[in-house]
Amino acid sequence: MITDDMPLEELAGSWDEIREEYYLRNDAFDRTVLDCAVRLAEDPGGESAGVWAIGLLMMAPYVAGAPGDGVVSAAVSALEAADGALRERPCGHETHPYQEHEPEFDEDLSRQLCGLYDPDAAWDENHPREQWLCPRNVAGLARIALDIIEPGSASGIPPRLPVGSQDTIDTLSALLHGYPEPGTDIEAEIGVHAEELRSAESADRPGRLLVVMAVAWYAASDFVRNPAVLDELISALETTLPHYADARCTHDRHPAPPRSGPNAAALGIKLSSPAGRALYERDRTRTDPLDQLLCPVALSEIANDAMRTLGGRRAELH
């Protein structure tokens, strides 16, 4: 039997609860993750490795947050061991489910896991059970879990936004549409994005600048009347502009950023991480290539335009 102390359905249910409530922090969740990690580490190349790897994949968003001491290291060590033990196992499959496993498919993992180990259960997935249970697929799922916990730490898997990015997009979208989510501290939310731009690494700075551009449009409206909020954004832009002071390019044109504040902010959040940029390039069809969209000359223009917008509003409030 794969599990000898708890039915697989109960295990999967407990893991799915943590997946859904990943933003909560409690000792019971920590113990559940640690138990799963210990089981995988005990036999990372064994018959039951798929159970525990899928369990850790389901709980990975929780582990990516701020769990208790030792939880991250235990999960990462177990997943790395499983990947190392299974990744090079021979198989005759041309494809595996992990290669097309998008974030929204995480919602199906509990049901799929129970069906995988019950030969009498109905199975109508796009891939047969043998491909799901293939050691190379289990290794791929382990790498996806690793990448969720530590973005950029795994290769050969579909890119996905870091944990919390979609929540940030949703919060910003509601704010910039003029209907903030209940409990949103508008001034604090704006301040967070100013600081994110100020402290951004070089590769992430363009995306953060697009977010501040979108927030600047909102901050310059009648929704914001506290000059200190504008000052934070202006300070972030003043910190950013020197990075583009010597910008030059040979482009005939620069694509305009989205005219909609929510769309501009969503694009900015997406482009603020390596995985998000990989997603943009992967899904790009008729949209502009990143080297034109994020040309330093274009970014300088965006920053200066945002500065003028905020400066004008700042003068009105005096």
pLDDT at 251: 85
Q: Is the pLDDT of residue 70 over 50?
A: yes
Cβ atoms of residues 58 and 110 within 8 Å: yes
pLDDT in tens, 186-223: 999 999 999 999 999 999 999 999 999 999 999 998 88
- The pLDDT tens digits of the residues spanning 152-184 come to 999 999 999 999 999 999 999 999 999 999 999
Q: Chain-centre distance of CA 287, in angstroms?
A: 21
Q: Is the pLDDT of residue 3 over 80?
A: no
Distance CA 17, CA 110 (A): 10
**pLDDT of 1 over the 50 cut:** no
Which of 237, 131, 118, 232 is CA-nearest to residue 186?
A: 232
So what's the pLDDT on residue 180? Answer: 93
Gyration radius from the chain CA atoms? 23
**How confident is the model over 35-49, as a mean pLDDT?**
97
Identify which of 29, 57, 310 has the alpha carbon closest to the alpha carbon of residue 190: 310
pLDDT class for 291, splitting at 50, 70, 90?
A: confident
**Euclidean distance between CA atoms 252 and 79, whole angstroms:** 48
Considering only CA atoms, which of 175, 149, 146 is closest in space to residue 164? 149
Q: What is the end-to-end Cα distance of the chain in Å, rounded?
A: 73
What is the model's pLDDT at position 254?
Answer: 85
Q: In whole angstroms, how far apart are CA 168 and each of 96, 159, 184, 269, 317?
A: 31, 18, 11, 8, 29
